[in-house]
Every structure is written in C-alpha cells, then in structure tokens.
Chains A and B, each alone.
Chain A
Amino acid sequence: AQTVTQSQPEMSVQEAETVTLSCTYDTSESDYYLFWYKQPPSRQMILVIRQEAYKQQNATENRFSVNFQKAAKSFSLKISDSQLGDAAMYFCAYRSLITSGTYKYIFGTGTRLKVLA
C-alpha cells in the first residue's frame, strides 16, 4: 500500500528566509500525482502546488517550488521569502491509481510551519 511520510512535525523560519519541508512516499506505481496543501488556522485546505510523476521538471508557483526526486521517492516543498501568512499546517499528498478508473488520495501527517517576525 502507498504511504506518505512527513518526518518534521514542526518547523520554524525567520520572515524573508527560505525553508524546505520534507515529504517521502512509497509506491510501486509509475504514474501518480503529488500535492502540497496548506491549512491555515481557518482550517481551510488550500492547494499550494502539484506535480505529475511523468514530468521531470519541478513545479513552481511564485515563491513555492518543489524538489521532486522520483527515484528517491522524495517530494520536498521550498518556500522562499517566507511571509507571516505562510504560517500554517502543510500536508503532502499522493494520488494513487488503484485499478483502472479508481483512485484515492493519501495524505501525510503534516508539518506545522511557524514564521518568526
């Protein structure tokens, strides 16, 4: 079964600095999607970035970028120029393809990011 591991329960970063959140996953599939979701105190779930496994190029969305290492099954999120509004819980997620036409999403346990002024 697929698993997603976030080994950092909590991280801190100084405002304007860069931080990297780690995520590893385990799968035997060759085709899948990976996501990072942000959950601020409002508890709303917000998509930060997504990556297709067949794409070698790392996804980027403004200050957010990923380092996708398919062979190592690693999918880390880098936040540049951290802002106070980046403080949130961040979840890594994997979308599997169970059988033809069905799939499920698997989430990690989350990393709480604190941004220090």
Chain B
Amino acid sequence: EAQVTQNPRYLITVTGKKLTVTCSQNMNHEYMSWYRQDPGLGLRQIYYSMNVEVTDKGDVPEGYKVSRKEKRNFPLILESPSPNQTSLYFCASSLGPLGEKLFFGSGTQLSVL
C-alpha cells in the first residue's frame, strides 16, 4: 500500500532533550516536506527536499534540522526542543513538479514540557 509512515504519533518530552521524528515513503517520491499545524495558523512549512541531499528552508525552520540521505526517508530533528515547538507535525511527499497531490503521514502530536 502506498503510504507515508510517520512515527511516533504522540510524543511528550522535556525542554532540551533531543528528539527525532521519522518519516518514510514507499512511493519513490522525489519531494518530501515537513509542516507544523497550530490553531489559527494552519499548516506552515518547516523544511522541504526536492531529492536526495537537496533540502531547503520553509517558512519556520528555526529550531529544526532535516536530512535526506536516502530517497525514502526524511527525518525531522529537534536538537534542543522548547515549549514553543509544541505542535502537530506532518510529513508529506509528492512525486515531483507536475502538481500531484501531497501524500501526508498520520501526524505527530508533540508536547514539550
């Protein structure tokens, strides 16, 4: 089944403790991206990747890191999480530049205490 697998679904952590949210897609998609969803603000793009080893900042990249060493994986890393990073996070992928829809993961609800 074609899907974007995102883990974990829920995560509670404390300020400053490094964490990684994993994202993997099995559709050989070139484009992958991360978003955070906050009430009243919609979805805001954190980082995106056009292909392996090609990443770029979105609108809210501060405090986050990403890597794209393999085509299928695009992990989101919070080196030193802070309470303002408490949010719902989505990973998404699409085939390429022809306007195909974004395939979304199931989301990660992160709480930073």
Chain A positions near chain B (C-beta within 8 angstroms): 4, 6, 9, 33, 35, 37, 43-45, 47, 50, 52, 91, 93, 95, 97, 101-110
Q: Which residues of A contact B41 (CB under 8 A)?
A: 109
- Are the CB atoms of A95 and B99 closer together than 8 Å? yes
A103 to B90, CA, bound (A): 18
Main SS of the interface on chain B? strand
A101 to B48, CA, bound (A): 13
B74 within 8 A of A: no
Chain B positions near chain A (C-beta within 8 angstroms): 33, 35, 40-45, 48, 50, 56, 58, 88, 90, 92, 97, 99, 101-102, 104, 106-107
A47 in complex: contacting residue of B42, B88, B102, CB < 8 Å: B102
A45 to chain B, nearest CB (A): 4
B38 to chain A, nearest CB (A): 10
Q: Which residue of B lies closest to A52 (CB)?
A: B99
- Are the CB atoms of A106 and B50 closer together than 8 Å? no
- Are the CB atoms of A104 and B58 closer together than 8 Å? yes
- Are the CB atoms of B99 and A107 closer together than 8 Å? no
Can you sample 19 A-B contacts with CB below 8 Å?
A: A4-B42, A33-B99, A35-B102, A37-B102, A43-B88, A44-B104, A45-B102, A97-B97, A101-B50, A101-B97, A102-B50, A102-B56, A104-B33, A104-B58, A105-B102, A107-B44, A108-B42, A109-B41, A110-B42
